[in-house]
Amino acid sequence: MSGNAFQDRAGAFAAGLMVQAAWPLLLIAACVLATPVIGLATGPQATPLSVAAWFVAAMGALTTLAFSMLILFDALLFRLMASHDSEAEGGAAVDDVLTRMRLKPAPAATRPLDQRMAGTRRLLMKQRIAFALFAAASLVAAFL
């Protein structure tokens, strides 16, 4: 970014979000490729508990992937915000995009960068909880 502290913070946060969106995708893909899910869940040794654990693991994986896509979208919005000279202009541009996409109504006042970052951090926490659910259920299913 140029030399503005606001642009540096928004750009750095966007870059961090890109990493936070990518690593769960890679780990879930590796787990799915490494595990013969259908054979373990439907084989003769399958118990109702192992089938339930695989189902919970699949739901945790899908939820994690959905949160990762939302985080990726937020990263792009933070990059858009960082491309403007001031925090007010960047926030207005993000609000305009969200309004045009009909994702949010036009706000009465533009939220500051810190409030937007706090909302995205809550989304990151939800993603991590969903990933922990996936990991725990996968371990339970693998050892049953």
- Mean pLDDT for the chain? 88
Q: 23-27 contacts: CB < 8 A, separation 24 or more?
A: 24/64, 24/65, 24/68, 24/127, 24/131, 25/65, 25/68, 27/131
| Domain assignment of residue 121, given as a range | 5-142
For residue 54, the model assigns a pLDDT of: 85
Mean pLDDT, range 51-69, rounded to an integer: 92
What the block records as the tokens of 42 is 């439907």
Express each pLDDT in 74-117 by its tens digit: 999 999 999 999 999 999 999 999 999 999 998 999 999 999 99
For residue 1, the model assigns a pLDDT of: 40
pTM attached to this predicted model: 0.86
Number of domains making up the chain:
1
